[in-house]
Amino acid sequence: MTDEPGEYDDFLTDLQSVVAQRVEELRARQSAQTPPAFNDEEKVVREWPELAGRIMEEFR
Amino acid sequence: MAIRGSLTEASLPDVLQLLAMGRKTGCLGLTFANNFGYIYFNDGSISHASIVNRGLGTEEAVYLLFTWTQGTFNFEPGATPDEEVQLHCIDPQSLLLEGARRVDEWALIAKKIPTFDIVYAMDRHKMMEIDRGLTAEEERLVPLIDGQRDVSAIIAESRLGEFVTAKTLYGLLTTGYVIRIGVSTRSRAPARADDKATEHRNLGVAFYKTGMYEEAQREFRRVDTLRENDPEACFYLGLVALRQQQWAAAAHAFERYVSEQHSSRPSVFVNLAYAYEQMGELERARTAMADALSHGGRGDPLVQTNAAAMAVAAHDYETADAALASARTLWGTRRPPPAWFHYAGLAAAMVNDLDRAIALLGEAVQVYPGYAVLWNNLAVAYEARGDFDEALRTVERGLIEDATLPQLHRNFADSLQRDGRFDEAREAYRRAHSLDAL
């Protein structure tokens, strides 16, 4: 710990991002079966791009 | 992308020829004063046309639309007519000549018959005086020209269509067989609020279907004012807000529907769930989707597909798979929509069932080859299975459909990189990056 409160806040922020990264890794391990390419949003389109495919326009 | 314009700058015949030459599929909507007409195209041919609140057949509607020389048009690519309408395959060129002739004739007719609320009667003395005989159309009209019916009623009852009726009446007026009595009392009486609401509702639905959302919103707001708690107005106001990406307004409209209406519809809950999802309110989205399923949605393949899409977003592939399988069963022999194939392929790939993902997406690109997203994810599935040549071929095919999809450029770059074509790969990575930043 340091005497400077600003530095301590920065330290906590860094720690949070490390923890978040670890949690993400855990999630990735949970779905280890998924081929890596399908977890890469730069390669795969996950959400259907047309609104018509995600809503119901017929009144029923 | 929608094409919009003014009919004073581009006439309807010009627009029709343009759409025919471009072999376009979609809906051309036209507005003139408080009227709205639409013409559906399939691969450059006219498949269906109508004018709202007029009840005209396809050809009659197109001919009448030719007389609209002011107003606006809007072309919505990809829009298709409702399933229940009768479809045609008419070459627009074949209507141009007759259309031009009718426009000239309408100009003459309108001088003698300026409005359709005029009431005419037969002049029997004149008929005996000048006995020239009657045409078949005139024979049909004479019993209806009784000093009671106005022109609109004669058109409706003669079943000859607006143009033939008006032209026949014009001929009878010219020979003096028919005299003007006055105007119908119906036109002087204020229209009932309910009738007006129905007219605005019909206009609103037509505007919505042709992608004219601001106009649709205006019409449904009128319905909302004229008919308190109108369920359809509420539903469509929600849809318009979704189309305009105003998620909170959409949620509000569908919430209002749920609180005001006694009969709940699964479509309302599905749309409410989507609005919540876009707002980041995932718990409420899940609740709304559960409501959609419990209010009759379990037997609706579209509800099941939407439930699957939500499960995929939540990484719950088991639930997604079950909902997608249920949807496919419910469709039976009918072909599922492209979104179903997308989520089915994705859900299979996410649980590493690449053979099934490839089979599903392979089927998808056969039936929906115009969707680059399907080609892209199929290419990734091939790559994940180690079929690199097939991945490259698939990604190249996808780029033909849509060269603006960044994922396709990224996958193309990866394929080139594997082939040792480093300069080309670098260029493709750059394109992927710049498209992604847009």
Spatial CA neighbour of B158 closest among B132, B137, B179: B137
Contacts of B300 in chain A (CB under 8 A): 60
Does residue B24 lie in a domain region?
yes
Within this chain, do residues B140 and B62 fall inside the same structural domain, yes or no?
no
CA angle in degrees (0–180, nearest 5) for B148-B150-B155: 125
Number of cross-chain residue pairs from A and B with Cβ atoms under 8 Å apart = 94
B90 shares a domain with B134? no
Closest CA to B312 of A46, A57, A20, A56: A46
What residue numbers bound the domain in which B131 lies?
113-188
Instruction: Provide the sign of the torsion angle of the four alpha carbons A37, A38, A41, A42, taken in this order.
Output: positive
- Judgement on whether residues B142 and B165 belong to the same structural domain of the protein: yes
End position of a domain, from candidates B76, B107, B138: B107
Confidence of residue A28 (pLDDT cuts 50, 70, 90): very low
**Do B175 and B128 share a domain, yes or no?**
yes
Chain A residues with CB under 8 Å of B414 CB are: 43
What would you measure as the largest C-alpha separation in chain A, in angstroms?
65
CB-based contact A56 B349, cutoff 8 Å: no
Highest average pLDDT, of B237-241, B256-260, B316-320, B432-436, comes from B237-241
Query: Is B312 an 8 Å CB contact of chain A?
Result: yes
Residue B400 φ/ψ, nearest 5 degrees: -65, -40
Whole-complex ipTM:
0.74
Provide the pLDDT confidence category of residue B188 given band limits of 50, 70 and 90: low
B374 touches chain A (CB under 8 A): no
pLDDT band at A30 (very low <50, low <70, confident <90, very high): very low
B151–A contact, CB cutoff 8 A: no
According to the model, what pLDDT value does residue A29 have? 43
* Chain B touched by A12 (CB under 8 Å): no
Is any Cβ of chain A less than 8 angstroms from the Cβ of B415? no
Q: Convert the pLDDT of each residue in B215-246 to its tens digit.
A: 999 999 999 999 888 889 999 999 999 999 99
The reply to whether B14 and B91 lie within a common domain is yes
Number of domains in chain B: 2
Nearest CA-CA partner of B383 in B434, B417, B421: B417
Q: Tell me the pLDDT of chain B averaged across its residues.
A: 91
Classify residue B158: in a domain, yes or no.
yes
pLDDT digits (tens, 9 = 90+) for B248-290: 999 999 999 998 876 779 999 999 999 999 999 999 999 999 9
Q: How close, in Å, is residue B23 to chain A by CA atoms?
A: 22
* Interface contact B232, partner A, CB < 8 A: yes
Res. B437 pLDDT band, cuts 50 70 90: confident
Note whether residue B200 is domain-resident. no
Q: What pLDDT does residue B79 have?
A: 87
Last residue of a domain, one of B51, B81, B107: B107
Residues B65 and B142 in one domain: no
Split at pLDDT 50, 70, 90, the class of B355 is: very high
Q: What is the pLDDT of residue A13?
A: 63
Q: What is the pLDDT of residue B2?
A: 65
In this structure, what CATH number is given to the domain that contains residue B144? Answer: 1.10.10.10
Task: Find the CB nearest B384 among A38, A46, A58.
Answer: A38
According to the model, what pLDDT value does residue B78 have? Answer: 87
- A30 close to B (CB below 8 A): no
DSSP letter assigned to residue A42: T
Contact yes or no for A53 and B350 at CB 8 A: no
Per residue in B384-404, pLDDT tens? 999 999 999 999 999 999 999
CA A28 to chain centroid: 10
A chain contacts of residue B243, beta-carbon cutoff 8 Å: 51
